[in-house]
Chains A and B, each alone.
Chain A
Amino acid sequence: MSSCVFQPIQACGTVSSIQLFVRGHKELERKYYARNLKVKKTTDKALLSIGKLLKEYATKRIKKITSGKRETRYSPTRTVTVSRPGAYPNNDRGKLVKGLSTTVRFRGKGKSVLEFQSRAPYALDLEFGTRKMRARPYMRRTLAANRKAINKIIAKGVKLAL
């Protein structure tokens, strides 16, 4: 238990200042530390489930082949359906999906960051478009489509932690 004691300091018969002694702050500190650890553990868990959700959603949308122009590609020779500009990119050889990853990184002072990225060499070309190709954003769209679900997971995590 914490407790505090007020001690008036008198000078020439009048109270000139008050000293405040707090007892039990070590215990409070310990409690806060334990609470912080619990909050961190729970938020990390929430971030991991958000990452899983984003990865699964993006994978599902990329693998669902949408209608578009058909093109022949080489080595190996194959026919692919190119998605429309602005739509999710269509799966071809699976590099984009394989390259999708989510990582929770610790940034000190109890801060954790979820990184959602794709390691495919053309990941940024598809996301932002190039001089010769219109963008087929899949990361920002995935994030926007799951905003409500993400908020729910975070709210649930914080509730559990507190």
Chain B
Amino acid sequence: MHSDILTVAVARAKADANISSIVGTKVYNNVPKDTAPPYLRIQWGNAIDISGKTDEFTQGELIFDFWTESQGDKQVLNMIDYINDEFNRTPLVLTQGSTNLLMTRTGYNTFLEGDGLAHHGIITFNLLIED
């Protein structure tokens, strides 16, 4: 189920026209060494299990990290908008039997990294999944 979430999220980001207009196919979980920005990294983590009376649920965080150099904050904010439009309140369609019930944005942040070159944008979503 956990790898499924990541696979589906990466595939959906790649399929989105707005997101791919900025990063092309550079949507990764593990970014290959020496990849030039702009690119998008998706991570799934902080998952906890919640037991209901009859069902089991998982709650976790999907984190989108976007880096760019040449276009600055404008491109970072555009990307955050595109990711928000594509993913916020639109649950993932999982393929291995689990159901993503909720997908809600929990926050975003943008900043210029310590090297003074890379503009970094982060947007996080909270997911509730029925196992």
State the A residues within 8 Å of B (CB): 121-122, 124-125, 128-132
Contacts and interface: CB of A to CB of B under 8 A. Distances in A.
A128 B111 contact: yes
B65 A129 contact: yes
B120 A122 contact: no
B40 interface: no
Interface residues of B, number: 11
Main SS class of interface, A: loop
Contact of B67 (A122, A124, A125, A131): A131
A124 B111 contact: yes
A125 B37 contact: no
A128 B109 contact: yes
B37 A128 contact: no
A5 B94 CA distance: 63
A128 B114 contact: no
A122 B114 contact: yes
Contacts of B120: 128, 130-131
Contacts of B113: 124-125, 130-131
Interface string B107-126: 00101011100101010000
A125 B113 CA distance: 6
A129 B109 CA distance: 12
25 contacts: A121-B114, A122-B114, A124-B109, A124-B111, A124-B113, A125-B113, A125-B114, A128-B65, A128-B109, A128-B111, A128-B120, A128-B122, A129-B65, A130-B113, A130-B114, A130-B115, A130-B118, A130-B120, A131-B37, A131-B67, A131-B113, A131-B115, A131-B118, A131-B120, A132-B115
